[in-house]
Structure formats: C-alpha cells, structure tokens
Structure 1
Amino acid sequence: MNRATHGADRLAAVLEREFGLSGAADVTHVYSEADATYIVSGPSGPTHVLKVAAPGRIADVTLQVSLLAHVERSDPGIPVPRVVPTRRGEPFCRTVVGGESRLVHLSTFLAGRPLELAALNSRLVTDIATTQHRLQAVLESFPDAGAVVPVRHPWALDAVLDYPPLVEEHLDAGQRAYAESVTARYAALAAGPAARLPRQVIHGDFNLSNLLTAGRRVSGVIDFGDCVIGPRVHDVAIALAYLAMRDIGARARFSAEYCDRLAALGGLDEDERAMLPLLIAARVVMVLALGRDTARRSPDRAEYALRYDAPAADLLRALRDEEADK
C-alpha cells in the first residue's frame, strides 16, 4: 500500500462534497487492475472503498455498480460491497481529480483476511463453493445481460485462445510445450462440448485476493470488474485453479470437496466436472503469460502482476507431470 496518488486531502474533500462522508482519517492507495483504488479509514479503522475510474470507463463502472445493486436486492446475504450513493442519490459522480474529470464511486469496506493469507480447510472450501453457487444463481437473473456484459476480455477464460503469442514470448521451453498443448485442447473443447453449455453472467475472478474470509467462512466477495457472460463451469475452474495454487499438496482433496458441494446444490453436472482439469490448466497458463506480459509492459505494476507467478509455475509443472504419468 502507499499514500493516495491523487492526494489524500483532495480525495477527502471529494468524499465530503459528493458523498457526504466527513471525518476520513486516512485515504490509502492499494493496487488494482484498472481503476485507482483507495481504502478510506475513520478513527476506528477502514470504512469504505473509493474508486477513481480510469478515463473512458463509464460503461465498466456502470456495469459494476449495477451488478452490486442487483446482488444486494436479490440475495442480501451474499457478502458483497454495498454501493454508497452520492448526495444526489446517484451510484457515482464525475468530479475533477488530479486535474482531470474522472468518474468516482464509493462502496462499503468488507472486513476479512484475503484467502491468500488464510489457512485452507474443508469447511472454508465448501463455504466458498456455496457462496459461488448463490452468486451464480443471482447473476443468472441480471437484466439485459446480453446488452451490457462483455463476452470476452483478457482475463475471461475463453481469451486463452488468443494467448499463443504471449505463451511463445513469456514462457520458458519447459512450460511452453505443455501450455501450447493446453491451448490447442481448449480450442477443441470450446468448439465442441463447451459450445453447448448455457451461458450467464459470471464473476470471472474468484482469486485469492478477491475472496475475504473470517475463520472458516467467506466474509466478502469483491472486484466485479472481470464479470463476463460465460459458462458457469468457467467460474468453478477459476476458483479451483487459485485454490490449487494456494495449496498444491491438498488440491485433489479440496477440489473434490468443492465439486461435491456444488453438485449437491445442483451447480455442477458430470459433463462440466469432466471439463475442469483442462479449464484449470488454461487458467494457470493465463496467470503466467498475462501476468508476465503485464509486468513487462508496466514495470511499476510488476509486483502486483506477478503475485501468483511462482505458485502458478509450480502448479503448471505438477499438472504437466501428472498428465505425463497417465
């Protein structure tokens, strides 16, 4: 974390003027994918999250606040941030920040330990599966999804079909051959059985940073910036890929428990389950290739972009060796 890049005092003034939020003791910048993100703290600790959108992202911001509002209306028990309206009752505002007119929106802060720092156990893993299933059920009914939700972006699982140049550039020889095999098999799956799966809005990024925990429960699901329209099994594969990176040794057990819980809830059938090993491998390839490409293009973001690189490389090697032994 570091102090606010747009100036803590200026942002505190925006909070009071636009949102009626006074008394911010601290405004601290944290790294995120696209927008400038700040943790707003009062005398007793963090209270809100302020986002200053990058230029040209009005459609993305509108979608994110709409998704959060839809989840709150449909199933208030799902722990997602609550959108804090402006003084005028709007979900975001436009104001001058750092000399530029920028879109700004505010949400509640969710307390919890990021999954990357939590101890994995069976109860927590099954609660993640339950939370994901509840969220998928709500997102399935998001109105006018086809008109406003993208079907492809760089982190959407289907985007791995565009990754061969990144694989060639950024993966070493030992990783490259297996990654090329994964992308080739993914293309066949996407054109065949996966093409017949129903599609809906999915969160798209159940990673170790976007899930917050309290003990053996999920206390928060954050970052709806990667939502896409896709098969629900893509969401499952993404979650399982990051759980495997968190604990490679226990991944078979945790994956089985996760899938068993989803199946019991009606959120995973046998055909989808059979696709998971390849989908998980595809996500691991993406983490390595896109993370390294981002680090090369934006050295100032390298630490953030490469935070999963080492466990992803270990997992890719394990998956490759397991396939070779079959």
Structure 2
Amino acid sequence: MSVKPITPTLSPSQAAELVKNHYNLTPSELRYLPSFEDQNIYIAAVEGGEYVLKMINSEDSKDPILFELQTYAMNFLHENGLPTQTVLKTTTGHDMILKDIDCGDGLQKCLVRLLTYLPGIPISKAPLSPCLLYEVGQTAARVDNILREMEHPQLDKLQRDNFKWSLSNVPILEKYIHVLDGDPLQEVVMSVLHQYKATVANRHHSFRKCLIHGDLNDLNVLVQAHESRGYRVSGIIDFGDMNFGCYVYELAITIMYMMHLHPNPIEVAGPVLAGWESVFPLNAAERDCLFWLVLSRICQQLVLCLSISKCYPENKEYLLRLSKSSTLILHKLYATGKEQVEKVWFHTAAQFNDGK
C-alpha cells in the first residue's frame, strides 16, 4: 500500500524567513497558488523579481533525482527559446534544498525550489480562438522536439514504467473502475478500455517514442494578451508528469484538456492538430489511434481523479474540477463515433494548414 504524502503547510512568516535565509530576498508580497500535493507560494521581492516558492510533499521529496531532471529540462527548454520557468540558486549555489518543515504532523523533510514566475494567466481564464489553439499544439510539439535533444546521465529515471498517468498504462484503470459502480458512465469507460486493448495496444510499436511534458492541462499552459493576436502562449509550467512516452500521447493529452475550455469540444482538436503537425506530422498509426487515445485520457482523468479524491477529501474540489465536463465530453465523443469525429478533426486541421 502506498504511503499518503504529507503536504507542506508553511505560514507566510515561515516562507518569508526561508526565502530571506536561503535566497537573500525580502518578500513584499506573498500569496498561495493552487496545488494538489505540494505547496506553491507566489513571492514578489523588495529587491525586484517575482518567484514561486515550491515545497515538495514528503513522499516525492525522497526522490531528488526526479526534481533535478525536471529542473534540468526546464532550463534546457528555456535556453532553446521555450517560455519555461528557471530555478534561482540558493546563496550556497544549489538548485534545491532539503528542509525540515512542520507539515502539521511534526517535521518532515521536504525539497524546496525557488522558481521564476512567468507572466500571464491560465489558459482556462482566456477566450479560446483557433489561432491560440494552433499555437498550443505547436508549442506542445516544440517542447517534445527540443526535449529529444536533451542529455543527462540520469535520464533513464524518467522511464517511469509504472506511472499510472501514462497512456501506455491505460489498462490499469480496470483496478479502479469500481469507483464508477452504479454509474452508467462505467459502461462507456469499459468500452473505451476494450478499444484501447484491441486497437491502440496493437499499434503501439509504430508510435514514435520521446520524452514528453505529459500534463499540458488548463492550469499548466499560461497565456498573455497580445495587441494583434488576441492571446499568445506565455508559459509552460509544472513538469511533474514528465516521462518517456510517445509524441502522440502528448498531442492526445493536450487535445483532451483544451476540450474542457470550449463550448463545442469536438471542434478543438483541428487547430491543435494543425499546430502540432506544423512541427511534427503524425504517422498513419498515430493518426488512426488519436481518437481512442483522447478518449482514454478522459477515462484516466475521470477514474483516477475520482479514486484519488476518496483518499484526499480535503482536495476534492480541485481534483474533480473537470469531472462534470469530462463526463459530457466522453459521452459526446463516444456517441458521435470515431469516423465522424475524425472527419471534423482532420478536415479542420487540413483547412487550417491550407490557410497558413
């Protein structure tokens, strides 16, 4: 049985003291930011600059190499022109420190990093346009394309074969499907799992493998108003789900999350796909499996978040924030069917690229 992580609960005064002692900065403003198992605090410094103080939960803090890799990846992407956070080194020259932090249940050892703060708002708070969706798809592909050039002696650590959010591990949802007992949605989820095993699993060998961000959701893509183009992507944050997967997984995950932000979710994938393929065109197998991969990700989001919320009732609102829309989207896509949905997706993508 896995150990329940303990989330740090620094008070504003404790956070101010930590930043002063380890980064030589004096906060002029502090405010808490959303997080699930970690603690994130926005900090504006008297000396100038805006930052995010990120305290990692007690369990994840036992694996510092994973966070070293995340930090390295963010820096690598930033150096290659992507809008990612970078890490401010401590006064002793370290990227992160291990601190004894009072988490409400005695002292716990937690990793601490101070990240640069990126301008913008979550894409969930901005009006979606086809141009913005195109840029989201293009940016997602650029992230993965650049990550394939990254080298690090501990890179194998990101294989994460047992990572339950990987689209390679969709069949493990059967272990959690009981959370939908009595819900008519269970039948749809079981049907998607069957299609995954019958269709996607058999073509997995044809998917191109790569290192992916793995979680370009409604909160992890930041946008900023632009005078001539509405909103533009201004930041990619939270590399906690980074793992070795497949290019088409990143695309499916991105499409799935963007669908939650649009009144007509089926229309979303076309511009995202067009942006993606401007960098990295899909092969035949990836194209044929995209529909079922998107549905599989919706099933992961529904089932896993519902299961996790049973263990974390205090975070239920955050965990289930997408559940209602996920249910509606899954029903709509499943009822419309692969052929009709793909016709919209691929026709829209082709039109979009023809107009470029």
TM-score, with length taken from structure 2: 0.83
Structure 1 residue aligned with 2:301, among 281, 287, 299? 287
Match of 1:235 in 2: 250
Structure 1 residue aligned with 2:56, among 53, 58, 82? 53
Match of 2:354 in 1: none
Match of 1:155 in 2: 165
- What is the Cα deviation at residue 12 of structure 1? 1.0
Structure 1 residue aligned with 2:42, among 33, 36, 39? 39
Match of 1:314 in 2: 328
- The residue correspondences of 1:92-107 to structure 2 (distance < 5 A) are 92-98=96-102, 99-107=107-115
Deviations 1:175-218, CA, capped at 9 Å, x for gaps: 11111111122123443211232211100001111001113210
Cα 1:324/1:258, change in 2 over 3 Å: closer
- What is the Cα deviation at residue 248 of structure 1? 4.4
- What is the Cα deviation at residue 224 of structure 1? 0.1
Match of 1:27 in 2: 30
Secondary structure class of the residue paired with 1:101: strand
- What is the Cα deviation at residue 84 of structure 1? 0.9
Cα 1:104/1:309, change in 2 over 3 Å: same
**Does 1:214 pair with 2:234?**
no
- What is the Cα deviation at residue 320 of structure 1? 2.1
1:174 and 1:325 map into 2 onto residues whose CA distance is: 24
Match of 2:196 in 1: 186
Deviations 1:35-77, CA, capped at 9 Å, x for gaps: 222211346998111111222232332221121122123x1x2
What letter matches 1:138 in structure 2? I
- What is the Cα deviation at residue 121 of structure 1? 0.2
- What is the Cα deviation at residue 9 of structure 1? 1.1
Identity %: 23
Deviations 1:116-146, CA, capped at 9 Å, x for gaps: 1111101101111121121111111222465
**Does 1:245 pair with 2:260?**
yes
Give the gaps of 5 or more residues in structure 2.
1-7, 226-230, 341-356
The answer as to whether partners of 1:67 and 1:142 remain within 8 angstroms in 2 is yes
What letter matches 1:230 in structure 2? G
Match of 2:174 in 1: 164
1:46 and 1:179 map into 2 onto residues whose CA distance is: 46
- What is the Cα deviation at residue 264 of structure 1? 2.8
RMSD after superposition: 2.3
- The residue correspondences of 1:70-85 to structure 2 (distance < 5 A) are 70-73=76-79, 75=80, 77-85=81-89
Secondary structure class of the residue paired with 2:128: coil
2:36 and 2:249 map into 1 onto residues whose CA distance is: 20
Match of 2:215 in 1: 205
What letter matches 1:62 in structure 2? E
1:62 and 1:164 map into 2 onto residues whose CA distance is: 33
1:57 and 1:169 map into 2 onto residues whose CA distance is: 30
Structure 1 residue aligned with 2:121, among 91, 107, 113? 113
Structure 1 residue aligned with 2:74, among 68, 72, 77? 68
The answer as to whether partners of 2:25 and 2:45 remain within 8 angstroms in 1 is no
2:213 and 2:252 map into 1 onto residues whose CA distance is: 12
Structure 2 residue aligned with 1:273, among 267, 287, 307? 287
Q: Which moved more, 1:299-308 or 1:39-48?
A: 39-48
**Does 1:262 pair with 2:276?**
yes
**Does 1:9 pair with 2:13?**
yes
Give the gaps of 5 or more residues in structure 1.
none
Cα 1:46/1:162, change in 2 over 3 Å: farther
- What is the Cα deviation at residue 325 of structure 1? 9.6
The answer as to whether partners of 1:36 and 1:51 remain within 8 angstroms in 2 is yes
2:167 and 2:258 map into 1 onto residues whose CA distance is: 16
Deviations 1:247-292, CA, capped at 9 Å, x for gaps: 141x343311221232232343343222111000001111111111
2:49 and 2:249 map into 1 onto residues whose CA distance is: 33
- What is the Cα deviation at residue 105 of structure 1? 0.7
1:252 and 1:316 map into 2 onto residues whose CA distance is: 10
Secondary structure class of the residue paired with 1:25: strand
The answer as to whether partners of 1:170 and 1:293 remain within 8 angstroms in 2 is no
2:144 and 2:52 map into 1 onto residues whose CA distance is: 24
